[in-house]
Structure 1
Amino acid sequence: MVFESLMRPLRAVSKPWEMLFYGIFVASIGVFLGYWIFRDKADLVMIFLTVFAVIPLMFHTLRREEQADMEEEQETKMLKRHSKVLFFYIFLFVGMTIAYVMWYVFLPDNMSQMVFKQQIITIAQINSPVVVGDAVSMGLFTKILFNNMKVLIFCILFSFFYGAGAIFILTWNASVVAAAIGNLIKLGVAKYAATAGFTKMAAMTQTTTYAFSRYLFHGLPEMAAYMVAGLAGGIISAAVINKHFQTDKFQRIMLDSSTLMLIALGILFFAALMESFITPALF
C-alpha cells in the first residue's frame, strides 16, 4: 500500500528523525479523512485511520527485532539495537502530536470540537484541581503510577495479541496530549489577541513552548515506557507467530523481552515521579 512504501523498517531505524514527518503526514491524513467520511465519529475514526497507516511498518519492524534476538547472543548489543527502534517510536509519537496540535489550533472551533470530541471529554475527566502538600502529592503519585501501569499492561497485551497493537494506545495518547496542548495555545491566542507585531509573535512563541513543555516534560518518558513495553510484547508475538517458541533460542527472546519490561517499569516509575512532583512545581 502507499503508506507502507513511504517508509521502510530499515530506513525508519537508521533515520528515526524522518518518522517525525511521517507521523505528521499520516495523522493529518487521518484527521481529514475521518472528518470528511465519518464526520460524527471523526474523533475515533481518525485514530483508527492513523493506526492502519502505521501498523505495517510496526509489524515488519517487530519481525526484524525478533529475528535479531534469535541471532544476537549478547544482551547489551540487543538493548542497543532496541534503543534505535525506541527513538523512531518517539519521533513518530511527537510527529503525530504536532499534527494533532496543529489541526486542533488552526481548524475552526466548531470543527475542532467535533474532531477532538472524545479527547476533550477524556481531558475533562482526568483533570482535577491541584492541591499542594506532601500527602496529596504522594497520593497523586500512587494514583498516576497505578493508572499508567494499567496502560503499560494493555500495551503488552495489545502487542502480544495484535502484533503492533500498542500503536493504537500511543496514537490515542498523542491525540489526547495534543488536545490539551492545543487548548493551552488557544487560551494564549485569546489572551494576546489585542497585541500586535513582535510582542504578539513573542507571546505566541512563549505560549506554544510552555504548552508543549507542560505536557511533554513527563509525557515523553511515559510514552517511552509504553513503547518499550509494546516492543517487548511485539517481539514475543512475532516469535510465537514464527513458531520460534519451539526452538532453543526462545529462552533468549524471553530474557530480552523480560529485560525490556523491567526497563519499561523503571521509566514509568520515573515518569510518574516527574508528573506528580516536578511538573506541578515547574508549571
Structure 2
Amino acid sequence: MVFEQIFGPKWLEKKPGLTFLLGFVYAELGIISALLIFPENPSLISIGFISILILPSLNQLLSMETNQDIKRKKFSLIYLFKDHYDILSVYAFLFLGILLAYGIFAAVLPAAHTERVFEVQLDIYFSNVGRSIDPYVGTIQGAAVQGASVAGIAYSQAADFWSIFLNNLKVILVCLVFSLVYGAGSILFLTWNASVWGTIFGYVAKRTADTGPEIVNFFVIMACVFPHMISEALSYFMAVFAGGIISKAVIREKFDSRMFNHVLLDGFVIFFLALVLLLIAAWLEVYIFPFFTC
C-alpha cells in the first residue's frame, strides 16, 4: 500500500502530531471514495475505507509497543507512560483529524446532501432529539455498535453522572472486547466514533447558521465540548490499546510466561486508568459543561 510506505509506523511514532493531518486526509479520501464508488450508502462504506488506510501502520505500531512491554524488565507507571505516550497520541490525533473531516463535510454540504451522505450517523442524533427540535437541546452521542445499540453519550442535559458513566462504560467494554478479538482492527470502532461526533457537530453548526458561519459555529461547538469529549475519547483509546497489546501477546507469547504476564499487567493497568479517565469525563460533563453556553 502506497500510504503505508510513505507513513510507516516509525514515522508515526516520531511525529504523532502530524497524524492529525494524516487522519484528516485519510478521512477525506475515504469519504470521497465512498461517494464515488458506493454513492447509495457512503455513510458506512467511508468508515471501512478510512480504517483500511489506517490499519497496516497501526498494526505495526501495536507490535512495536508490545515489544517495548516485553523488553521492560520491571513494571513502572512512569515507564509505562513514557513507552506508550506516542501511540496514545497517534490515536488521539487520528481521531481528531477524522472528526474534523466529517465535521467540515457535514457543515459545508447542503442540508439535504448531509442528511443523505451521513444518514447512519445522523440517525443517532435524530433518534434522540427529533428532526424539528432546537439542535442545542438534546443528546449528542459519541459511539455506536450495531445500529447504535451501544452508544457513548457526549452531551446530555437530562442525564445524571451515573447514567452517563454507566452508558459510556458499555462503550469502553466494547472497545476492549473489539481490540482483544480484532487487534488493530478495532480502529473501525474508533473511526465510527469520530464520524458520529464530527457529523453531528457539523450538522448542528449548519442548523445554527443564522448565528454565524457554519465553520465558525463548528469550532465554537468543538471548543465547548472539547474538555469532556477528549477525556471520554482518550479513555476509549486506552481501552483499545490495552486490548490490542494483550491480543498481540496472546498470539506471540506463551501463556503464563513472564513476558506474557508482563504485557497482561500493563494492559490491565492501562484499562484501569481508562476507567478513571471515564469517571473524570462524566464529572466534567455533568458538573462543568452546563456552565458553558454555545
Distance 1:191 1:139 in 2: 27
Structure (1/2) with the larger strand percentage? 2
- Counterpart of 1:214, as a letter, is C
- Counterpart of 1:106, as a letter, is V
CA displacement, residues 92-136 of structure 1 (integer Å, 9 cap, x when unaligned)? 111111111111122233322222111111122344956xxxxx9
Pairing 1:1-80 to 2, within 5 Å after superposition: 1-74=1-74, 75=76, 76-80=78-82
2:176 matched to which residue of 1? 156
Task: Look up the SS of the partner of 2:184 in the other structure.
Answer: coil
Pairing 1:218-237 to 2, within 5 Å after superposition: 218-237=228-247
Contact 1:30 1:47 in 2 (8 A): yes
Name which structure has the greater RCO, CA cutoff 8 Å, separation 6+.
1
- Counterpart of 1:159, as a letter, is S
2:203 matched to which residue of 1? 183
Q: Are the structure 2 counterparts of residues 127 and 167 from structure 1 closer, same or farther at C-alpha, using a change threshold of 3 Å? A: farther
List gaps (5 residues or longer) in structure 1: 131-135, 193-202
Question: How many Å apart are 1:184 and its aligned residue?
Answer: 2.8
- Counterpart of 2:189, as a letter, is I
Distance 2:124 2:158 in 1: 23
Question: How many Å apart are 1:138 and its aligned residue?
Answer: 9.2
Q: Are the structure 2 counterparts of residues 138 and 175 from structure 1 closer, same or farther at C-alpha, using a change threshold of 3 Å? A: closer
Which residue of 111, 114, 117 maps to 1:115? 117
Distance 1:139 1:112 in 2: 28
Task: Look up the SS of the partner of 2:101 in the other structure.
Answer: helix
- Counterpart of 1:100, as a letter, is Y
Length, aligned pairs only: 269
Distance 1:266 1:127 in 2: 30
1:210 aligns with 2:220: yes
Distance 1:18 1:39 in 2: 30
TM-score by length of 1: 0.88
CA displacement, residues 194-253 of structure 1 (integer Å, 9 cap, x when unaligned)? xxxxxxxxx667523321123323111111001011111000111111134363211111
Distance 1:65 1:123 in 2: 36
- If you compute each CA radius of gyration, which structure gives the higher value, 1 or 2? 1
Distance 1:147 1:125 in 2: 16
Distance 1:148 1:50 in 2: 24
Which residue of 255, 278, 281 maps to 1:268? 278
Distance 2:186 2:283 in 1: 23
2:134 matched to which residue of 1? none
1:165 matched to which residue of 2? 185
Q: Are the structure 2 counterparts of residues 204 and 69 from structure 1 closer, same or farther at C-alpha, using a change threshold of 3 Å? A: same
Contact 2:43 2:117 in 1 (8 A): yes
Question: How many Å apart are 1:173 and its aligned residue?
Answer: 1.2
Contact 2:175 2:236 in 1 (8 A): yes
List gaps (5 residues or longer) in structure 2: 131-136, 139-155
Question: How many Å apart are 1:277 and its aligned residue?
Answer: 2.2
Q: Are the structure 2 counterparts of residues 6 and 115 from structure 1 closer, same or farther at C-alpha, using a change threshold of 3 Å? A: farther
Calculate percent identity across the aligned residue pairs: 30
